[in-house]
Structures are given as C-alpha cells and as structure tokens.
Amino acid sequence: MSDKKHIFSLWQSQLGVRLLVLFMLMAVIPLGISGFLGYRSSVSAINDLARDKITSLIELKVKNISTLIQFYEQDMKYLATGETTSRAMQGFVDAYQKSGKSLDNFIGSYSWAEVREERAADIKRFISEHAYADMLLIDLDGNVLYSANDGALQGQNLQSDSYRNTRLAKAALQSLDTGQQRFSDFEQLPGQSSVSGFLLWVVIGSYGEKIGLVALPFPYEKLTELIAKQESQLGETFLLGTDKLLRVSSAQADDASMLKQKIDTRVVNVWLDSLKPQASDVGSRNLLHYGNASGEAVVGAFASLTIADKTLGFFNEIPQQIIYQSTQTLTEQVVFTLLVTIVVAMFIVWLLARSISLPLIAGMSDISAATTQIDATMQQQVLNSQNQVGAVNEITASINQLESSARQTSEQAGSVSADTLAGRKLVDQGNAKIKKTADGMQQMREKMQDISRQIEVLSGQTGEISKVAKMVLELANQTKLLALNAAVEAVRAGEQGKGFSVVANEIGALSEESKKSAEKIGKLLMTIHQSMEAAVIITRDGKQSIDEGARLTDDIVDLFGDLAKTFMATSENIEQIVLNVKQESESVGQVFESMSLVNNSQQDNLQEINQAKESISSLQKVVQRIKSMV
C-alpha cells in the first residue's frame, strides 16, 4: 500500500514529473540521434557495398564480353588478311566465272568441290578449332560462294529480294564501298530460326584489288551465355542497339522475337546521351533508379560495347526490392532495437526519478511534522517563560518590601538608642528580660542571616544556570539533526534546494542557541522554585521570631516605661542591633539586585525564544513552498 502511495505521489508531484521529463530528454534524445546517425551510416555503407558489388559484377561481365569481342576481331583479321583466305576466295571466284553456271548449279559442282578441297581445307580446320558456327566467302556481287559448315546461306545472293534488306546485306555493301570491316549487327535471317551477326572484311587479291568479302559469324551463344551468367545476382541483363531494340537478353535468351522489342527507359536514354560528343561519363559506377519496361521499380546501370563500327549498350536492371532488402532488414532491426532501448531507458529513468523525488517528498513531510512539533514546544516555552518572569517579579516585589521593613527597623532602632541614654539606671532590673529580648532578636538575626544565605545561594545558582539545560538539550539536538538532514536533502536537490539549505543552517544555529537558553531556563526555574520555597519558610520563621521579639519588647516597654530616660545602658546593644539591621538591609538589597539580573535574563530568554519561534515559522513556510514544488 505504501509503495502504491509513493508511486502515485511521484506522478502527482511536480518535481517527479520534471525529473522524469528531464531524464527522458537526456536519455531518449541522445539515443535517437545516435541511432539515426548509426542507421544512416549503416544504410549508406550497405548501399555502397551493394553498388560496389553490382558494378563490380557488371564491369567483370563487360570485361569478359570485351575479351570475347577482342578475340573475335583478332580471328577475323587473321582470316581476312591471311593468304589462305585470299587464295581460297580467288579460287572460288575464278571457278565460278569459268563454270558459266548459275550459282545454285555451281555450288556442289566438281570445280567448286575441287577448290574447297585444295584451298579451303585450312579455313575449315581453323573454324573447327576455334568453335565458330561458320565462315562465309562472298564475291563482289554478293554471292555466297562458300560456307565452311555448309550453312543455309551458301549459294544465296545477298542482293536478292530475300536478303537485300537484311543487316548482313547492308553491311556487306558498306564494307565493299569503304574497304573497312563492318559488323552486320544481330538479326534473324530469312529461313533461319536462330539469331546471328557477322563481322565482314574485304579480301584483297594478289594484285591489291578487292576480290570479295569474308564474313565471320559472331559467337552469339557464347555472348548469351556470358550475359545470362550470374543472372540471380544481377537481375536482367541485355544488349541494346542505338535504335533501342533488343539484341540479347538474359531473360529471353532463346527467343528471336526479342529483336523486335523496343526498350525506352530512363537508363537507355541516359546511355544514348552519353554517346553524344562532350557528354559526361556516367557509366556503370552510377546507379539509376527508374521504372523498367514492365513498370517495376529497378536500379539500372550501363556500359558501352563496340564491335567494329557498331556500338551496343550493355544494361543491367535489378529490382529495388532486391537491392535494398538488406537496408529494409536493417531498418526493421534498428527500429526494433531503438524501441526496446527507449522502453528500457524510460524504465530506468522512472526508477531514477522515483529514487530522487520520493525520499525528498517523505523528508519534506518529516521536516514539516518536526517543525510543527517544535513550534508547539516553543509556544509552551514562551508561556513557561512568561510565568517565570511573573514569579520573579513577585519575588522582587516581596524582597523590595522586606528591604523597606528593614530600613524602618533600622530607623526605629536609632530612636530607641537615643531614648536609652536616660534609662541606663534601669538596665540592671531589666537585664533578664533584655537578655531574653536580645536572644529573640539574635534568633531573628540568625533567621534573617539564613534568609540572606539562601538568597546568596539563589544568586550563586544563577551562575550555574548554563549547566541545567539538559531537558532542552535533547530537543535542540533533534532540531539540529533535522536541520542537518534538511541541509543534506537540500544539497541533493541541487539548485532548487540552495534557499532551503541556508534556512536549514540558520535553524541549526538557532537550535544551538535555543538549546542553551532553554537549558538555562529549565534549571533556573527549578532552582528558583526551591529557593523560593526555602525563602518562604525562613521568612515565616523570621516573622514568628520577630513577633516573639515584639512581645518581649512590649514587656520591656511596660517594665521600663518609667525608666526610658535611664535606658542608656542598653544603647550599645541597640546600636549593635541597628548595625545588624543595616547589614541585613544591604544583604536584602544585593538579593534584589540579583533578582533583577535574573528577571533581565528571563526577559532575554523570552526574547530569544520568540526569535526561535519566528525562525521555526519561517522554516515552516519554506517547507510548505518546497512541498508545493515537489
């Protein structure tokens, strides 16, 4: 029940809420910032790693394809410029012209077969060793006079209606016109189901004249294999011409219809722009985000490939979901970790705020109760001090009256001394009674001396008042301990407890002074009370003795009425009595002065107690303010 009450107090206290909010800000904000920065850094690193991996694979694939093209062009150069090819080309051209036959009849004829056996055997061996699909020898009229593997193009004329509009026919005319090698580009030739592309080079005769063309088919199967390799890591890879039509696709490797498919995406346009003069190099190291031909969000990169006079675009498209799968996983992990960390931080912060505010709240309640009790005690001390002051005033008045009586007695004794000068003769007769009177007066003197000694004891005991403060000492010590605890709690409270720390120190000082004053007051009251009782008893006895002396004096007056003039014999005794009475009067005066000092001390103590009461009231106000804050 107590824990629930403290928890409820924490949520209702302003200090508890402030501490909770402050610690939350101190814990959550740095966690959020560090988490966000770490997340950004991790995402950037993951994305860079993915980009590096993708671009490295693309560059590796481009390098492999470029190497294939390089070997292909070297083989083509060897065939086109070699004497074997020139002799074979010249043999087929001469045999065809001499035969006078049509192309269809010439192919397969004896003369054709003879040239093939004599001059084309080395060519066929080279094609077989390098695993080319075929090799064509074409004369200046576009007649395909020889196919190393007896392909479908052997015996066909490239200028016929069937082949005139093919890329192969156009590249053959350009190569013959310019004398430079040309690449026909990839296409599906009439009557063929596969895709093919040829590199064409002019064959020069023995006299330096053009005698025909050699056409070497590009190893399309190897190219397709290289492009389709590692497709699971690179997504879809394809080759594209400057007309935006597909040439090779990893997704449609065996489908010749892809050659009619046009790709018009952002990455294709960026590639075409890069081919323009003074265009910036964006290349494979730059990943582009766009929608592909199917509308899927992809990341794309490209590189350019050149085969003879043709420039093709090598493209790679990867779904963004695959690219950023690691990033998404990291995001989920970071968000979950951050949420768990925030929850744990909130719980720790709650415990910390509770450990600070709840003891402070309980301490304020204890201090408030203690100050209330101290205030009640102070009020009781004020009442006691006021009663003590009244009692001391009454005692002072009584002593003052006693001093007046002693003065009057002294004056009367002086008169008796004057009258006894004439009654010296009657001393003998009244000697017995005078002795009795003297004895009574002596007893009165002794009683009065006892009073004087008791008063002196009372005066001396006032100097010992500082030793009788044990009753208030425990209370003052408790107050001082509470003030010390309050100062400690104020230090724990930080800036908000500085004012309370000063008040707590003042309370400690006042409690020390109050302890001393209250200690004196308590002991003094006891002593004064005892002394007063003794003084009352002695005064009562003295009064009885004085009464007895008065009675004896009356007897003497009756006895010596007519001996007044002769009473000089007793003058010495009367003078001694006067002297004693004066001394007693002086002693009473000293007692009066001592009581006045005691009265002043009581007044000072009362004033100090009132000041302590005001300090306690101020402390209560401070405690109330602190309690309103917490």
Domain boundary residue among 323, 342, 371? 323
Instruction: Provide the CB-side half-sphere exposure for 185 (13 A, CA).
Output: 20
Q: Note whether 249 and 305 are same-domain residues.
A: yes
* Span 480-501, average pLDDT: 76
Residue 296's pLDDT is what? 82
Q: Of the given ranges (280-289, 490-499, 529-538, 616-625), which has the lowest mean pLDDT?
A: 280-289
Residue 213 and residue 245 share a domain: no
Do 55 and 90 belong together in one domain? no
Last residue of a domain, one of 162, 192, 218: 218
Euclidean distance between CA atoms 121 and 132, whole angstroms:
15
Q: Let me know if residue 343 belongs to a domain.
A: no
1 domain-assigned: yes
CA neighbor of 311 nearest in space, from 259, 239, 253: 239
Q: Indicate if the pLDDT at residue 479 is higher than 60.
A: yes
CB atoms within 10 A of CB 280: 8
Residue 564 has pLDDT above 60, yes or no: no
Lowest mean pLDDT among 1-5, 60-64, 249-253, 286-290: 1-5
Residue 285 CA to residue 298 CA, distance in Å, equals 16
Q: Does 247 lie in the same domain as 145?
A: no
Q: Based on the domain organization, do 374 and 292 belong to the same domain?
A: no
Exposed, middle or buried: residue 329 (CB in 10 Å: 0-12, 13-18, 19+)?
Answer: exposed
The answer as to whether 75 is a domain residue is no
Q: Are 154 and 188 part of one and the same domain?
A: yes
Cross-strand pairs, 204: 210
pLDDT at residue 583 above 90?
no
Residue 400 lies in a domain: yes
- Residue 486, pLDDT score: 76
Among the ranges given (33-42, 244-253, 309-318, 500-509), the one the predictor scored with the smallest mean pLDDT: 33-42
Domain identity same for 86 and 150: yes
Q: What is the pLDDT of residue 8?
A: 47
CA torsion angle for 88, 89, 91, 94 (degrees, to 10)?
A: 180
The larger pLDDT score, comparing residue 557 to residue 610, is at 610
The pLDDT tens digits of the residues spanning 5-14 come to: 455 455 555 6
Burial class (CB in 10 A: 0-12, 13-18, 19+), 565: middle
Whole-Å CA distances, 463 to 466, 535, 578, 594, 597:
7, 19, 32, 11, 11
Any idea what the CATH number is for the domain that residue 427 is in?
1.10.287
pLDDT higher for 485 or 528? 485
Assigned domain for 466 exists? yes
Q: Report yes or no on 564 lying in a domain.
A: yes
- List Cβ neighbours of 298 (8 Å cut-off, separation of 6 or more): 235, 289, 290, 291, 292, 317, 318, 319, 320
Tokens of 132: 């080319």
From 156, 186, 218, give the residue that closes a domain. Answer: 218
139 and 36 housed in the same domain: no
Task: List the 297-307 sheet strands across, edge first.
Answer: 246-249, 236-240, 310-319, 297-307, 288-291
The pLDDT assigned to 138 comes to 96
On the question of pLDDT at 480 being above 50, the answer is yes
Greater pLDDT, 357 or 302: 302
**Model confidence at 420, in pLDDT bands (50, 70, 90)?**
low
* pTM across the whole model: 0.49
Portion of the chain with pLDDT greater than 90, in percent: 18
**Residue range 23-78, pLDDT digits in tens:** 667 766 776 787 777 667 766 676 677 677 777 777 888 888 899 999 999 998 88
Average pLDDT over residues 103-121: 92
Tens digit of each residue's pLDDT (9 = 90 or more) over 493-526: 777 777 777 777 777 777 777 777 767 776 766 7
Q: Same structural domain for residues 193 and 155? A: yes
515 and 379 share one domain:
yes
Q: What is the CATH number of the domain that holds 256?
A: 3.30.450
pLDDT value at position 1? 46
pLDDT per residue as tens digits for the range 138-192: 999 999 999 998 888 999 999 999 999 999 999 999 999 999 999 999 998 988 8
**If you average pLDDT over every residue of the chain, what do you get?**
76
- Are 272 and 131 members of one domain? no
Say how many domains are in the chain: 3
- Please check whether residue 331 lies inside any domain of the structure: no
Task: List the CATH number of the domain containing 116.
Answer: 3.30.450.20
> How many angstroms separate the first and last alpha carbons of the chain?
21
Q: Are residues 413 and 438 in the same domain?
A: yes
Tens-digit pLDDT profile for residues 179-219: 999 999 999 898 888 888 999 999 999 888 999 999 999 88
- Is 17's pLDDT higher than 80? no
337 domain residue, yes or no: no
Residue 562 sits in which domain range?
356-629
Helices (H) and strands (E) in the chain — how many of each? 16, 10
